[in-house]
Amino acid sequence: MKFLAEIEILPKKGLLDPQGKAVTQSMPRIGLNQVKEVRVGRFITMEFEANDKAQAEADANTACKNLLANLIMEDYNIRITEL
């Protein structure tokens, strides 16, 4: 079966996020004074074959833990859909 993994990777809360801080500080310049915090991360999609949804999620977790995310500094969230 074919699956799509959509992966969001963000800096852990409480860690310095220089990109997010720069964007947050720029918001008032475009009239968005109400924005208090922006966090900047990455969005990754992967299409792959797996026997079932559980295996697809396990494979995506392996990719995140071993390659895509720095677990010391980042958290990730995975959404799996069948194609």
**pLDDT for the residue 83:** 95
Residue pair 77/1 in contact (Cβ under 8 Å)? The answer is no
Each domain of the chain, given as residue ranges in start order, spans 2-82
**pLDDT for the residue 3:** 98
Spacing of C-alpha 12 from chain mean position: 11
Give residue-wise pLDDT tens across range 17-72. 999 999 999 999 999 999 999 999 999 999 999 999 999 999 999 999 999 999 99
Residue 24, classed as helix, strand or coil, is helix
**pLDDT for the residue 15:** 92
Residue 40, classed as helix, strand or coil, is coil
Q: How many CA atoms lie less than 13 Å away from 35 in the CB half-sphere?
A: 16
Q: Record the pTM.
A: 0.87
**pLDDT for the residue 28:** 97
Q: Does domain 2-82 have CATH number 3.20.20.70?
A: no
Residue pair 23/54 in contact (Cβ under 8 Å)? The answer is no
